[in-house]
Amino acid sequence: MTDRQIDLQILRYDPEKDNEPAFQTYRVPCQEDWVVLDAINYIKDELDRTLSYRWSCHMAVCGSCGMMINGEPTLSCKSFLRDLPDKIRVEPLANFPIERDLVVVMDDFMNKLGSVKPYLVPSEIKSVEDGSYLQSPAQLKKFKQYTLCINCTLCYAACPQYAHDESFVGPAALALAHRYNLDSRDVGRTVRKDVVASNAGIWECSFVGACSDVCPEHVDPAGAIQQTKIASTVDYFMDLITPGRGK
């Protein structure tokens, strides 16, 4: 039963036709339990087949449906219409180039994610026959929070430093680097530090904390970056005291 009508103002842009993006308003009947993604799917199915956007799981797991909803970076599958006014402005994520409509170009984020080597660098390679790389629950607890990132890039859309300087490696990538640096099975910290501890890495962060505020999984990338700053500072002074350590 539909007992409410809402207006969705959606930013539209087709690079083959449009000189610049412009808003288009759609009147949508909605259900009490709908989220913004449901309303957008209704537009796609019933009103305008040309609308482009990303989504997949509808369960806040895949991270693909991130959008600016009334100016805030949000997963559209977690943003309930009952909590929003009758006029809702929907835009592509801020700080990314628009590919088409609500779809943004993710190349810069993907390149920066790869630059921090987001994978285990073990001290020795084990064969399948040798078994798993084991660790205790206490060792897992040290970094588990940072494994929850779903790469939705809401943190990049909220980050004023990334908006100011696109060379900044950014919250999600740096938090993921921290996750592996804390992993007891990993020895890749030294090979990551050229990126992580560079001027474009952790030292570019001004600790506004907006990235953690919008994170749907409570990863706290701002906290991860500050912890990495402390660890890198300790590394710096230890290298001064004991040159060549770790070689």
- Condensed to tens digits (0 to 9), the pLDDT of residues 164-201 reads 999 999 999 999 999 999 999 999 999 999 999 999 99
First to last CA, the chain: 68
* Residues 116-167: tens digit of each pLDDT: 999 999 988 888 888 888 999 999 999 999 999 999 999 999 999 999 999 9
Q: Where are the domains of the chain?
A: 4-104, 107-241
pTM of the complete model beyond 0.85? yes
Does 246 have pLDDT greater than 60? Answer: no
What confidence score (pLDDT) does residue 240 get?
A: 79
What confidence score (pLDDT) does residue 136 get?
A: 96
In words, the CATH class of domain 107-241 is mainly alpha
Does 82 have pLDDT greater than 70? Answer: yes
Neighbouring C-alpha atoms within 13 Å toward the C-beta of 72: 14
What is the token pair recorded at 116?
């921090």
Domain 4-104 has CATH 3.40.800.20: no
What confidence score (pLDDT) does residue 219 get?
A: 97
- Check: CB of residue 149 under 8 Å from CB of residue 217: yes
Q: What is the mean predicted confidence (pLDDT) over 108-121?
A: 96
- Check: CB of residue 215 under 8 Å from CB of residue 155: yes
